[in-house]
Structure 1
Amino acid sequence: MPKTSARLLALLSLLQTRRDWSGAVLADRLGVSLRTVRRDVDRLRELGYPIDAVKGPEGGYRLGAGTELPPLLFDDEQAVALTVALQIAASTPDSGLAEAAGRALTTLRQVLPSRLRHRVEALDVTAVERPGARPADPVDGDVLLAVSAAVRAREILRFDYGTGDTRRAEPHHVATRGGRWYLVAWDLDRAGWRTFRVDRMSLRTPNGPRFIRRTVPGGDVAAYLIGVFRGATDVAGSWPCQGTVILDLPASTVARYTRDGVVEQISPGRCRLTLGSWSWPSLAATIARYDADIEVVGPEELSAAFVRLARRFNRMAAQGTGGN
């Protein structure tokens, strides 16, 4: 690569890393004169990069926004992070960006250098939606890549988990939910499927021998994980507690606030709602948030949960009254 071209790429890379650069600092970083920096900036402008001059004692430059998207430069870590983000968007059909993300992912993979292509091709991410999730603990990018590579190579992983418990597992899928990363694996010591948080894994090397891939219960990793996060005990991924009530609200109103349930209209002002949760009190409390008169259709466990909550709330109300 000609020296001038290499210097232009280095200058562009610097301009992308922070908002403002003084001419003197750029010259020092590139090992050239201020005059050379000014000439290189002009060359980049001719190539379509919107570089603005910054006023001040020393003057400076800023990579601005243009009417068209110019070519961009990414370092290795940025390229891997972008690949992961595009995979998540491509595997989330409800986002409305899945098709575009898939095309962008294909384009990115075509231009990646071989040293990165092998790393990112090991990434196969399943996104499981979790609305309103709190910020997750950070995960080591090298660990995530190593786990993904083991999934692709079908090599047994050995790792310390949590407080130091050593595990051996056949890694099958990497998934993300609510900002956290998970490994779906067959636990060899416990002879069953387990879901591990990647941020709690400390890998041991080398990996174990290759294994024959298994099929997760139900055949759909996303559906299986949804069931795991709900606390389901069957392969269908249903809630462990599920009940039906009649609400004195229009079906259109209830449907607007019901993400994971079935709403059926009975009359213009009443509807039937079937919903699930991880416990009966939790289900009763979830239904109560609709703030309407409720008629329990079944089962009896849901009726008992409403009675239990009513007694609890009555005690709380009586204590509050006594304090006044």
Structure 2
Amino acid sequence: MSDTTTRALALLNLLQTHRHWPGAELATRLGVTERTVRRDVDRLRELGYRVESIPGAAGGYRLEAGSAVPPLLLTDDEAVTMAIGLRVAATQQLVGGPEVTLTALAKLEQVLPSPLRRRVNALAASVQSPRMGDGPVVSPVVLGEIALATRDQERLRLRYVDREGSESTRRVEPHALAPSGRKWFLLCWDLDRDDWRTFRVDRIEAVEHTRVLFDRRPLTPEEIDERVLIAASWSPQKIEADAVMELPFPAMQEIFGPWSDGATPDGETRTRWPFGGSDWREAMYALLWIPEGVEYTTTFPEPERTALREALGRLQRALDAPPSSRP
């Protein structure tokens, strides 16, 4: 294989791994001049690959959907079958974990020609995959589009419906897609609220690409996991209650960090904090995180309130009694 062919394949591989590449960065990665990059791009175009040139200071190259699916050389039927399978796998959280599935889905969807994409959308809508658990239905079309934008660091406009049924348009910088339980969550920077937000993907009605790129904000994997866990905890729970603590709202936010999401001021000196759980034991665990010395009241519901009171009474008596001696 000639150096020219090897370099062209390396260029094609780079174009497939990211939606937009500056010409100077491609030249650096390939160890050639920008003029050589332009010639290699022309060779790819002669082979039928649609490589778009983007002018300007922030310009570069972008691989667009063409008449074939490079470089696997799949038939149309094979490409459609793979795309549908990956969409189903992503919604069911299969195939080696969510990251592997979404990466493969993003690569394939990027190069699907428009007619094949329409076939995939039509057929995927009619595929009734076996449900695993009681998770909500996630649109594979929406999931695929968000996966592309997350990988490419592209700003999106989302049409989102919250749990009360209110619809809004959100301008976001998608940072991570992650499953928790049987739900998918999008962690993103909300441009209108100037803060991190986590949205349930099954509540995203539509995705609009802006082609505006952004630089990722620093966030560790541990912080991503914590924010997704917090978002998952806000899903409807069997036990739902509020705690009104004698702690000003700013102080509560500083102490609780991301776990203060959903809390609201209750006057100048108190904070109302919603919490919940699958049973009274799990809900009680949240109350244990209220700082020592901070008084509070709670709307803990019945009959779980009575069960909690009985358990705490036994615990108090056990702590007041002298320790039993070993025989």
Do they fold alike, i.e. is TM over 0.5? no
Determine which structure has greater relative contact order: mean sequence separation of CA pairs < 8 Å that are 6+ residues apart, divided by chain length.
2
* TM-score bucket (shorter structure): 0.3 to 0.5
Provide TM-score, normalisation by structure 1.
0.39
TM-score (norm 2): 0.39
